[in-house]
Amino acid sequence: MSLDTALIGHWDSSPFDYGVMEASELEFLDDGRGTGTLTNTLGEDVTEFTWHCPEPGVLEVRDEYGGVERVRYAVTPAAPVHATDPVPAVRFEPSLFFAREYARFVLHPCDCEGKQDSGQVPDETPTSSHIPRIIAGH
């Protein structure tokens, strides 16, 4: 089973969905597992999945209910809505978890655990043993 390491990490559609009442997030772990989250005004729906790349530029996702989706993808910089500078992004065709384009989400240290914010962005890739938690408002 082949995994494209460029996909590993956390991806968020909201930078490309400005003004939309819902957004999607994807988490690709290095062991072939992941989650897809759809968030809207009614709450959020999280679906666990397994993933692999049967050929370059093709992603196959099998959700926890047995559904299988095969999509083409490209990891390339793109400028979000109302931004001038491009960010690391992935584009799916057709859409995956209700969005076509996602920006790589980078965790930023904060003072949430009593530690001073160093201002540095950690160079950590989520793995099956390290799933970062995002704390709202930080």
Q: Distance (Å, rounded) from C-alpha 35 to C-alpha 49?
A: 6
For residue 1, the model assigns a pLDDT of 73
Positive or negative: CA dihedral 105, 111, 112, 114:
positive
- In this prediction the pTM is 0.76
SS3 category, 81: coil
Tens-digit pLDDT profile for residues 30-67? 999 999 999 998 999 999 999 999 999 999 999 999 99
Out of 50-59, 82-91, 125-134, the most confident range is 50-59
% of the chain exceeding 90 in pLDDT: 67
For residue 106, the model assigns a pLDDT of 75
| 74 and 57 Cβ atoms separated by less than 8 Å | yes
Strands 22-28 and 99-104: unpaired
Average pLDDT, the chain: 83
Nearest by Cα to 7 from 55, 51, 42: 51
Q: Where do the H-state alpha helices sit in 20-123?
A: none
Q: Answer whether residue 129 shows pLDDT above 70.
A: no
For residue 61, the model assigns a pLDDT of 98
For residue 79, the model assigns a pLDDT of 93
